[in-house]
Amino acid sequence: MTAVPPSDSDWSGDVLDRLFSSLGNAGGIVAAVSGGPDSIALMHLLARWRAAAPRPRILVATVDHGLRPDSADEAAFVAREAGALGLPHRTLAWTGDKPRTGLQEAAREARYRLLVHQAREEGASHLVTAHTQDDQAETVLMRMARGSGLAGLAGMRAERDRDGVRHARPLLTCSKTSLVRLCEGQGWRYVDDPSNRNEAFARVRWRGIMPALAAEGLTAERLARLAERLAQADEALDAKAREALSLAGAAGDGDGIVLEAGRLAEEPFEIALRMLTAMLERSGARLEASRLHRIEACTRRLREAIRAGEELRATVAGQLVRLDPSGRLTVRPEPPRRRGVRPMSYP
């Protein structure tokens, strides 16, 4: 059920209980706070929520990426603000060489790696970030431009697992504007990150396009609603694919996964695609959105081969996919390559 975003004037205890309902039984919370208005609002709201009743302990964590001269001062600012609220704080530094290309993606991966590690160190079950409705809308547009599938267009989930730590985004129904107004109305200080205006970054460019799209009716709220509906459809299709895998007798086979392939040709294409994707993941593949077209192509070839009673051997995402003459499909890690021998890759 869609959570109703609070109005600018209503941030009452009932609203906070609804926003943070999934955190009540958490075994400790790490709140990621950069110092911008969204995360500062999150920190204050969490402190207000915790003060109203017995709640899980909260640690505020700031990742210092070391990419700007002011980043250390901003982390120190967050530490002071957290201390004033009675919340402990840790600064997590991203050290080492930084890439010249793909910097934002690398910074994102480093940020979550550091935050998850800190959560484990603290014995915390949950990581909380301040992603907003606007962030969700930008994510949907960016993934649409990359040709993402249904799962990608479903955007960021309100909750997901990150290596055993539950990542919650309780402010996904809140607009960035409402959080800025809240900070200003309450006198909560925040910092302005100049990288949020740097058009060298794709997300900033998409953010600049949003007002023109909103003028045509494609608002952040409608994009976020689209993501929610697609997430519901994605969940239903995943359930159907799991059922189809079970009916096909999918089971572990040493270091791989095996099933009777006939069902993969009988199911609708989207279900067959998800069956193969699940087999690849169970066999140890770490899949990226960029590989979707390759998995789609392999699924088509498999369905053709199954119907024709042919054999097929291919490699996808480091996994060996083999259909034998009996109609048995096996997916297992690709063996080490010998010098001068290169297995057929698909596509």
Q: What ranges do the domains of the chain cover?
A: 13-227, 248-333
Q: Which residue type does 190 have? A: Y
Query: Residue 339 above 50 pLDDT?
Result: no
Contact 278, 241 (CB under 8 A): yes
Res. 9: pLDDT tops 60: no
| Per-residue model confidence (pLDDT) at position 342 | 47
Enter the DSSP assignment of 36: S
pLDDT for 7 beyond 60: no
Q: How confident is the model at residue 1 (pLDDT cuts 50, 70, 90)?
A: very low
- pLDDT attached to residue 254: 77
- The predicted model gives 106-115 an average pLDDT of 94
Average pLDDT over residues 35-61: 96
Degrees to nearest 5, angle at CA 318 with 243 and 309: 55
pLDDT bracket for residue 290 (50, 70, 90): low
Q: Which of 73-77, 87-91, 222-226, 334-338 has the lowest mean pLDDT?
A: 334-338
**pLDDT confidence bin for 4, thresholds 50/70/90:** low
Helix 133-145 vs helix 176-186: angle between axes, to the nearest 10 degrees?
150
Q: Is the pLDDT assigned to residue 278 strictly greater than 90?
A: yes
- Flag whether pLDDT at 300 surpasses 90: yes
Residue 43: which of 190, 143, 164, 165 has the closest Cα?
Answer: 190
d(CA 347, CA 345): 6
Q: What is the mean pLDDT of residues 187-200?
A: 85
Mean pLDDT, the chain, rounded, equals 90
By C-alpha distance, which of 128, 123, 117 is closest to 160?
128
Give the helix ranges, DSSP H, for 99-175: 103-122, 133-145, 150-153
pLDDT band of residue 284 (cuts 50, 70, 90) is confident
Query: What are the residues whose beta carbons fall under 8 Å from the beta carbon of 158, sequence distance 6 or more?
Result: 22, 168, 169, 170, 172
- Which of these ranges, 20-24, 202-206, 246-250, has the smallest mean pLDDT? 202-206
Q: Does 335 score more than 90 pLDDT?
A: no
Superfamily of domain 13-227: HUPs (3.40.50.620)
Residues 6+ apart with CB under 8 A from 92: 61, 62, 63, 64, 114, 115, 118
pTM: 0.86
Amino acid 85: pLDDT: 97
* % of the chain residues with pLDDT over 90: 75
- The mean pLDDT of 205-222, rounded to a whole number, is 94
Average pLDDT, integer, range 135-164 = 93
Asked if pLDDT for residue 343 goes beyond 80, the answer is no
Is 8 a residue whose pLDDT tops 60?
Answer: no
Mean pLDDT of 187-214: 88
- The average pLDDT across 254-259 equals 86
Cα separation, 128 vs 46, in Å, equals: 10
DSSP bridge partners of 333 = 319
User: Facing residues of 35 across strands?
Assistant: none
Number of H helices, E strands in the chain: 12, 11
Neighbours of 153 (CB within 10 A): 21
Q: What pLDDT shows up at residue 41?
A: 97
Report, as an integer, the average pLDDT of 288-310.
89
Least confident piece of the model among 8-22, 32-46, 74-88, 236-250: 8-22
Residue 341 banded pLDDT, cuts 50, 70, 90? very low
The answer to whether 302 touches 260, Cβ cutoff 8 Å, is: no
